[in-house]
Copies of this chain bind each other. A is one copy, B any other.
Amino acid sequence: MKPPSQAVERIVKAALEEDAPQGDLTSQALLSADAVISAELVAREDGVLCGEDVFAAAMKLTGDVSASFAVHDGERFAAGAALASVNGPACAVLQAERVALNFVQRLSGIATMTAKFVEAAAGTKARIVDTRKTTPGLRILERYAVRCGGGGNHRFSLSDAVLVKDNHLAVLAASGVTLEDALRAVRVQIPHTVAIEVEVDRLDQIDAVLAAGADAILLDNFSLDDLRSGVLQVAGRALVEASGGVTLERVHEIAATGVDLISVGALTHGVKSLDLGLDMRNL
């Protein structure tokens, strides 16, 4: 399920414009417009690829550089692997290089990190999902990267699901409205295709949330014991999501508590770009 090409093109064009608003002074002033080069996108560490389309779009938009991928989005590769080859005017390849790498390194970094979380949770039924802690402007790409890494997506934005958080509950409480009444009012204002999820901080909140008819319950910053208790208490009447302080070290034991979903801000929030490089050939 790739991002629409219209979105990819819009984002890549903006990035190229940012990186060379008046063209590439160095290449254009230094090199012959006729010079043609070949290059390879090479992995300098192991990983999972994401970014074929953005990489290719950057190359194509600076001057009809062809890009051909040997490894595809969602596939694993080892350090040293040749992921793609490009061929075209030297000026175009060198102008596109940094932008193309910035995208593919970041997205592959996310895919690779996601794959590690997914792998760590293997053998459980828990699905690793992203959060809204994405880079402003790049959410559509970063969510795709999470999928390439084997993870799932949480809601795309504030407009497509209801997630009642602690602060909402506090405002509700201050106004003397019960959650049950509040959710009943919400349900008629939203499409029937939209789920309602409620975040809780304590086990004793769960019953009220179930009574109010939530489709999912988010157990935020629960201990492993409390997660297990929560799962038992919910007993399949709603999806159970765990969040808060989820690290690679801890994710397996969280997953093993029986939760359905684990949302991990770190997938997109503090991810290291993967080390990929563009090596010129035949010069």
> Taking the complex as formed, is A197 at the interface, i.e. its CB lies under 8 A from any CB of chain B?
yes
Chosen A-B contacts, 13 in total, with CB atoms closer than 8 Å, are A4-B20, A15-B136, A15-B137, A21-B159, A25-B160, A26-B162, A31-B172, A102-B135, A153-B191, A154-B192, A154-B193, A160-B193, A171-B283
**Which 7 residue pairs across A and B have the least CB separation, nearest first?**
A270-B272, A161-B193, A15-B136, A170-B283, A22-B159, A20-B158, A193-B195
Cβ contacts under 8 Å, A230 to chain B = none
A182 to B215, alpha carbons, bound, how many Å?
Answer: 23
A→B interface (CB under 8 Å): 1-4, 6-7, 11-32, 35, 37, 61, 90, 94-95, 97-99, 102-103, 105-106, 109, 127, 129, 132-140, 143, 147, 152-165, 167-168, 170-175, 182-183, 185-186, 188-195, 197, 215-216, 239, 241, 260-261, 269-273, 280, 283
Q: Are A158 and B6 in contact (CB under 8 A)?
A: no
Cβ contacts under 8 Å, A132 to chain B = 19, 98, 102
Cβ contacts under 8 Å, A183 to chain B = 30
If over half of A's interface residues share one DSSP class (helix, strand or loop), that class is named, otherwise mixed; here it is mixed
Cβ contacts under 8 Å, A161 to chain B = 25, 191, 193-194
Report the copy number of this chain in the oligomer: 6
Q: Are A191 and B134 in contact (CB under 8 A)?
A: no
Report the minimal beta-carbon distance from A108 to chain B, rounded to whole angstroms: 12
Cβ contacts under 8 Å, A188 to chain B = 127, 152
Q: Knowing A102-B135, A273-B269 are in contact, say whether A25-B158 is a contact too (CB < 8 A).
A: yes
Q: Knowing A193-B155, A195-B192, A195-B195 are in contact, say whether A186-B98 is a contact too (CB < 8 A).
A: no
Q: Which residue of B lies closest to A161 (CB)?
A: B193
Q: Are B99 and A23 in contact (CB under 8 A)?
A: no
Report the minimal beta-carbon distance from A217 to chain B, rounded to whole angstroms: 12
Q: Which residue of B lies closest to A186 (CB)?
A: B29
